Amino acid sequence: MDVRKPKPIHSIREFLTEIGTITLGILIALSLEAALEAHRSHELVEHAKADLRYELQGNRDALARTVAQEKAAKAPLELLAQYGRQRLQGGTVAEPMDISFYVDFRPMNMAAWDSTVATQALAHMPYAEAQALSRAYSGSRIFNDFEADAIRHWYEMSALPDFATANDAELKSAVHEVALNQAYQTSMLQSGQGLLALYAKALAALN
């Protein structure tokens, strides 16, 4: 192996030249490394933003359908509650002929957000974007927890007895369960509409 010995330095000028050359080489290497890291960070952020945009749009569309279904279910649910209360009060009322409603409960997806946090892509995003996304997904988590409770009461209501033939004890319990569902319905509508606004802000920040 050919090992070259360093040339002897004969003057301050030669010494400064050698130091300058070494320093310049280090600075070039550091600059290249910084440029490469910046490129990697940019790609990481762009991939994360594309995934977040897709996920948020899907969540927004699913939530908009759920909110619309909740709104449509308000009238028939109130009709059922009124009928039950009137029967409990001893009134002679005709049974509602057509009470039907449907709500498609869909949990808000969080996979893209979890990946963005895990890969630290969020740390490379502008503060306004990160804040809008954080609020949207915090709202999603709260909505999912609340929806899980609402689903449980919704299924319990599906097992209620026929209001027209139920005895007073059964009817009182059934009316109470309907009232609980109405309370959850009101809260879910407010929460869902607020979350839709957060999704709009997050998507605007990403564009």
* DSSP string covering 1-38: ---PPPPPP-SHHHHHHHHHHHHHHHHHHHHHHHHHHH
Structure tokens that stand for 119 in this block: 């890969």
Least confident of 44-53, 86-95, 150-159: 86-95
The more confidently predicted of residues 202 and 76 is 202
Q: Using CA atoms, how far apart are residues 178 and 158, in angstroms rounded to an integer?
A: 10
Question: What's the whole-number average pLDDT of the chain?
Answer: 83
What was the pLDDT predicted at 158?
76
Q: What pLDDT, on a 0 to 100 scale, did the predictor assign at position 165? A: 82
Domain boundaries, the chain: 45-95+102-206
> Using CA atoms, how far apart are residues 158 and 138, in angstroms rounded to an integer?
31
| pLDDT at position 99 | 66
Task: Give CA separation, 170 vs 84, 131, 163, 176, 177, in Å.
Answer: 10, 49, 9, 10, 11
Taking the CB of residue 157, how many other CB atoms lie within 10 A of it?
A: 16
Range in 64-78, 91-105, 152-166 the model is least confident about: 91-105
**What's the pTM?**
0.75
pLDDT at 3 (0 to 100): 53
Instruction: Tell me the mean pLDDT in the region 81-100.
Output: 76
Instruction: Identify the residue with better confidence: 114 or 146.
Output: 114
Model pLDDT, residue 14: 65
Tokens 């009817």 correspond to 171
What is the C-alpha separation between 124 and 113, in angstroms, rounded?
14
pLDDT value at residue 137: 96
Higher-confidence position of 142 and 93: 142
Q: In this structure, is the dihedral angle defined by the CA atoms of residues 42, 43, 49 and 52, taken in order, positive or negative?
A: negative
131 in helix, strand or coil?
Answer: helix
Average pLDDT over residues 164-182: 87
Rounded CA separation 130/122 (Å): 6
User: Which residue in this structure is represented by tokens 């606004």?
Assistant: 197
Looking at residue 104, its pLDDT comes to: 79
Q: State residue 13's pLDDT score.
A: 66
* Distance in angstroms (rounded) separating the CA atoms of residues 169 and 97: 23
Letter for the amino acid at 92?
T
Confidence of residue 44 (pLDDT cuts 50, 70, 90): confident
In tens, the pLDDT along 92-135 reads: 666 766 666 667 788 999 999 999 999 999 888 999 999 999 99
Q: Output the pLDDT for position 198.
A: 97
